[in-house]
Amino acid sequence: MHEKQNSSNDHHEEVTLKLHKEELQVSKKRVETADVRVYKKTFTEVKQIMVPVTHEQLIIEKKIVNPNSDIDSQIETICIPLSEEHIEVTLNPTVLEDVEVFKKQCEELIQVNETLKEEKVQINTFGDINVIVDDQ
């Protein structure tokens, strides 16, 4: 409270009250809520398949014939490899899928409820007093 005296003969007291009112002010700040790392990871798998391979050989059979004997003749075999297949494995990368990663700004409305205070003058009278309001 603040009191002022106008003059020494005047017993009039002046009181000044400062009334306050709360106002709502809204501000926003960005807060990181998640950290994301996007990367590719390679998984390995052992694949086993059976592949038939061929080879070519020259076979020479010699029969030794003994005309004086009743026993079967002897057979001598000679094998000469001529060619063979070798397995070649070629790995061909193919596109499995396209993955697109991007950021998107989304906006939503959030309701904010806050109770605001405002001070007003209240006059309490005691006794038989007639109050006159002068709106100037």
pLDDT value of position 2: 47
pLDDT at 65 (0 to 100): 77
Q: What is the token pair recorded at 35?
A: 């950290």
Residue 34 structure tokens = 């998640």
Supply the DSSP symbol for 118: B
Distance, CA of 118 to CA of 20 (rounded, Å): 6
pTM for this prediction: 0.44
pLDDT for 125 equals: 83
Q: What is the pLDDT of residue 14?
A: 86
Cα 74 to chain centroid, rounded: 81
- Domain boundaries defined on the chain: 54-83
**Alpha-carbon 19 to chain mean position:** 51
Q: What is the pLDDT of residue 32?
A: 93
Q: What is the rounded distance in angstroms from the CA atom of residue 72 to the CA atom of residue 12?
A: 156
Per-position DSSP letters for 16-85, written without gaps between them: E----B---------------------------------EEEEEEEEEE--TT--SPPEEEEEEEEEEE-
Q: What is the pLDDT of residue 86?
A: 96
Retrieve residue 11's tokens. Answer: 């017993």
Q: Going residue by residue through the chain (136 aa), what tens digit of pLDDT does each one get? A: 444 444 455 567 888 889 999 999 999 999 999 999 999 999 999 999 999 999 999 999 988 777 777 666 788 899 999 999 999 999 999 999 999 999 999 999 999 999 999 999 888 888 888 877 777 6
